Amino acid sequence: MAKNYGPVLKRCRSLDIDPTYLGYSKKSKKVNKNSHKKVSEYGLQLREKQKTKFVYGVLEKQFRGYFEMASSKKGITGTNLLQILESRLDNVIYRLGFGATRPQARQLVTHGNFAVNGKKVDIASYLVKPGDEITIRENRKDNAVIKTNMEVVGRPVPAWLDFDNKKMVAKVVRLVNREEIDIPVEEQLIVELYNK
* Domains of the chain (ranges, CATH numbers): 8-28+36-85+179-194 (1.10.1050.10), 88-174 (3.10.290.10)
Residues 23-35 have pLDDT tens digits of 666 655 565 555 5
Backbone angles phi, psi at 162, to 5 degrees: -115, 125
- Opening angle at CA 171, ends 126 and 115, nearest 5: 50
pLDDT at 1 over 50: no
Which amino acid, 84? Answer: I
Average pLDDT of the chain is 85
From the CB of residue 192, how many other CB atoms can be counted at a distance below 10 Å? Answer: 16
Quick one: pLDDT band at residue 156, thresholds 50, 70, 90?
confident
> What sign has the CA pseudo-torsion 42, 43, 48, 50?
positive
Q: How far is CA 35 from the centre of its chain?
A: 25
Pinpoint the alpha helices (H) of 59-186: 60-72, 77-86, 89-96, 102-110, 144-152
pLDDT at residue 28 in the model: 54
- Rounded-to-integer distance, Cα 13 and Cα 29, Å: 10
Residue pair 170/162 in contact (Cβ under 8 Å)? The answer is yes
pLDDT at 125 over 90: yes
